[in-house]
Amino acid sequence: MSIDTALFLIGIGILGGAWNAVAGGATLFTFPALVAAGLPPVVANATNYLAMLPSNAAALPAYRRELAGVGAAVWPLLIVSGAGAIAGSLLLLVSDPAVFEALIPFLILAATGLFAFGDRIRRCLMKLFEGRSATWLLYSVLFLFSIYGGYFGAGLGIIILAIVQIMGFTSFHVANSLKNLLATSFTILSIVVFGIGGIIAWPQAGVMMLGSSIGGYLGGRYARLVNDAYLRVGVIAFGLVLSAVYFVRMLENS
Give the DSSP letter of residue 200: -
pLDDT for 9 equals 94
pLDDT for 162 equals 74
- Kindly give the residue spans of alpha helices, DSSP state H, lying in the chain: 3-22, 27-36, 41-51, 53-57, 64-70, 74-94, 97-128, 135-151, 157-166, 172-197, 202-222, 228-253
pLDDT for 122 equals 67
- Kindly give the residue spans of alpha helices, DSSP state H, lying in 58-96: 64-70, 74-94
pLDDT for 130 equals 63
Residues of the chain with pLDDT under 50: none
pLDDT for 39 equals 94
Q: By C-alpha distance, which of 44, 39, 70 is closest to 173?
A: 70
CA distances from 126 to 120, 169, 208, 219 (A): 10, 12, 37, 30
CB 158 within 8 A of CB 176: no
CA distance 5 to 34: 10
pLDDT for 22 equals 64
pLDDT for 169 equals 77
Is the model's pTM score more than 0.75?
A: yes
pLDDT for 223 equals 57
